[in-house]
Structure 1
């Protein structure tokens, strides 16, 4: 099978790294890829926003199976266009991708099928949003309705902070994604993520993970696309897991099918574990980033048959096997991220780090001859296995400390919640 992965981040390098291990794969391409994916696949210089160019590249390279990584391409309907060209594709439909592309779409689905989530309001003008804020008070959560690269969410602890977030959205800080705003109640609890595969009917649960969204230690600083993660998340015990499947995941998959927009892909449920049980924070219609990196490190099964079964409606009867180890990833990001940051600085010390328990996934990198250069906000994902979260963390930070990159930074406390519980 000739496979093409779409995307250029750490998630896509991790997917390519795992797919490359499959005996079913005879050739692997990543479009456009990065400095790390070039080590396990052939990078293709393709503008992935140009669906015709993606299809042409797939046909030129005799691709049998396309795996779409990024949220923007899911929401833009790349999967639909690739399938229309006669190529098998792992990617939810554009209609199903609204679960991520529109927060108000997901909220309406929750209302219709009694899926527990935060109370909310949706607003298309600043005055109405501010009026609602003043009736609710703080703490409160302000979200751009559309995609914003993980940065369109403000957990406001004061009315003033919420005001600023609302004004930012309507002043164009997030482009068209902020043309409407969803304002939610602040939910107390611990966040955790649950991943499942579905072909629209059958559901195959994958695993859990916990992400770290804030830029700095102690969960401080601005929201980012994610500064690190670990998997599995033991806080998600069997009782909570079963409750989430019964009250959130199953009603979502059934509801999407009832609406005539069956969900076929990986579904990533961001959850808040509240005193009243798990509640949905948001859905993502793709593998998380950086959660994908820890999941690929832990997965013992060949991933290709699973992805292909989702894409062909044959998931029933499939299973997945995981390593007993925990996996933890630490993001090294460019100084200034998630704000303005520079590109082009040299990174040294990455080569030779990979071993049986440590892998460096590349996100925002490119190669200039023998030099590895930073080419994005989140740049490297140092990912390790361990018998405990603490051991995985120690191994990951050993890798971080071996990398010489003065223009980058990393949080030093990834996994802190679970490590506190382990001691």
Structure 2
């Protein structure tokens, strides 16, 4: 059973269903209910405010939460006591993502490079640090959550940092992380039975517009992924494997995605996520042989041996978004959406619903996600762009430059 909504729940359900799994979803939010219904049975939190009642009835083999928020609900303790395997760390392991200062201290303890960072409670404290150090900072939420009042603000100059601090919401405090450049990349591993297994190296294009312009969005506008079980770029070796003593200590099982930047010839951790990620899930699973069995074994912390399809080495993801994205305050009329012709790759709807006449229309700014997986990077990119052009929606757009920068890893 998937805990989530929108394209990411639909995508995971459809991919596991294609692998032979019987899938369902517990819809954890009040919007984006339509897409998951296309891939399996769904249950809303309005029907079941406490999903434990639903779990008792359905008895799923395992649960896959799409967000770490599952760990802070009133029913969390009850769910954990049910002993249903969860594809996620439980307890202290969640802190690797949820608490930035904790992950910073953990990196310091195990000798992992991490940009100079500060936890502050007011904008004035932050301003004093910026002025005294004379460097630019990325302004982040200290406690990661979809409901956080702060979305990451990537400031490339001291002046930009000071300007952004004038309007940022400090109600939950701020985490300042020194800006160390644009040479970012990610790497995803599964951790199970005390072992770390490298899977893919990936790139996320988080800026709103082509040319890597505009604000940073909470969910990428596109991405690339490459099979990388041998950790060819050394990301897992430098940034995840040193954590193994701690991972064993807390009984960690699940996924870790590290996002890093190459700075002064060395990879530096920018953040860790303890889930596959919104766009990475759909790029990773088509590459894997028997992904359902693999995730089920990880959820139970059993020994695993990931295997890959030899002709599915690269993935490209693209997002189609509407006018004003990602500024949710911009009034956005609902528009009709249609496929001009059938797609020949993976595609999932997000803020889209079906009306009484059976027509699709937008309910928000993020419309659809396309994922193409092929044997070469060029083939994956070409196929993704060919298919996203088949979606018709007034005032929508997508980035036209995925793959033209930030790849291979370490490049701008």
Once the 2 structures are TM-superposed, how far is the Cα of residue 204 of structure 1 from its aligned partner?
A: 1.9
Q: Equivalent residue for 2:225?
A: 231
The yes-or-no answer on 1:143 pairing with 2:134 is no
Q: Equivalent residue for 1:163?
A: 162
From 301, 305, 330, the counterpart of 1:318: 305
Q: Equivalent residue for 2:352?
A: 365
From 67, 70, 95, the counterpart of 1:70: 67
Q: 1:106 to 1:37 in 2, by over 3 A?
A: same
From 383, 402, 405, the counterpart of 1:414: 402
Alignment TM-score, normalising by the size of structure 2: 0.88
Q: Secondary structure at the match of 2:107?
A: helix
Once the 2 structures are TM-superposed, how far is the Cα of residue 158 of structure 1 from its aligned partner?
A: 2.8
Question: Aligned ranges for residues 320-335 of structure 1 at < 5 Å?
Answer: 320-325=307-312, 326-335=314-323
- Matches of 2:251 and 2:264 in 1, distance apart? 32
Q: Secondary structure at the match of 1:384?
A: strand
What is the CA deviation profile of residues 270-329 of structure 1, one whole-angstrom value per residue up to 9, with x for unaligned ones?
Answer: 1112343222110011111212222123x2311111111112121x24222144332111
What is the CA deviation profile of residues 369-417 of structure 1, one whole-angstrom value per residue up to 9, with x for unaligned ones?
Answer: 4122223332211111334333222221222211110142211111212
Q: 1:8 to 1:212 in 2, by over 3 A?
A: same
Q: Which runs of 5+ in 1 are unaligned?
A: 173-178
Contact 1:328 1:393 (C-alpha < 8 Å) held by counterparts: yes
Q: Equivalent residue for 2:40?
A: 41
The yes-or-no answer on 1:115 pairing with 2:106 is no
Query: In proportion to residue count, which structure has more helix?
Result: 1
More displaced stretch, 329-338 vs 146-155: 146-155
RMSD over equivalenced CA pairs, Å = 2.8
Deviant stretches of 4+, over 6 Å: 418-422
- Matches of 1:139 and 1:323 in 2, distance apart? 43
Contact 2:347 2:368 (C-alpha < 8 Å) held by counterparts: yes
Q: Equivalent residue for 1:296?
A: 285
Q: Secondary structure at the match of 1:247?
A: helix
Q: Secondary structure at the match of 1:20?
A: helix
Q: Secondary structure at the match of 1:44?
A: strand
Q: 1:81 to 1:366 in 2, by over 3 A?
A: farther
Q: 1:405 to 1:322 in 2, by over 3 A?
A: same
From 254, 258, 261, the counterpart of 1:272: 261
Question: Aligned ranges for residues 127-276 of structure 1 at < 5 Å?
Answer: 127-147=124-144, 149=146, 152-172=151-171, 179-199=172-192, 201-224=194-217, 225-232=219-226, 240-241=233-234, 244-258=235-249, 261-276=250-265
The yes-or-no answer on 1:381 pairing with 2:369 is yes
- Matches of 2:290 and 2:96 in 1, distance apart? 27
Once the 2 structures are TM-superposed, how far is the Cα of residue 332 of structure 1 from its aligned partner?
A: 0.8
Contact 1:253 1:263 (C-alpha < 8 Å) held by counterparts: no
Q: Equivalent residue for 1:175?
A: none
Once the 2 structures are TM-superposed, how far is the Cα of residue 363 of structure 1 from its aligned partner?
A: 2.4
Once the 2 structures are TM-superposed, how far is the Cα of residue 73 of structure 1 from its aligned partner?
A: 2.5
What is the CA deviation profile of residues 125-159 of structure 1, one whole-angstrom value per residue up to 9, with x for unaligned ones?
Answer: 22211100111224322212122549621121233
Contact 1:197 1:265 (C-alpha < 8 Å) held by counterparts: yes
Q: Which runs of 5+ in 2 are unaligned?
A: none
From 52, 56, 60, the counterpart of 1:59: 56
Q: 1:43 to 1:344 in 2, by over 3 A?
A: farther
Q: 1:303 to 1:279 in 2, by over 3 A?
A: same
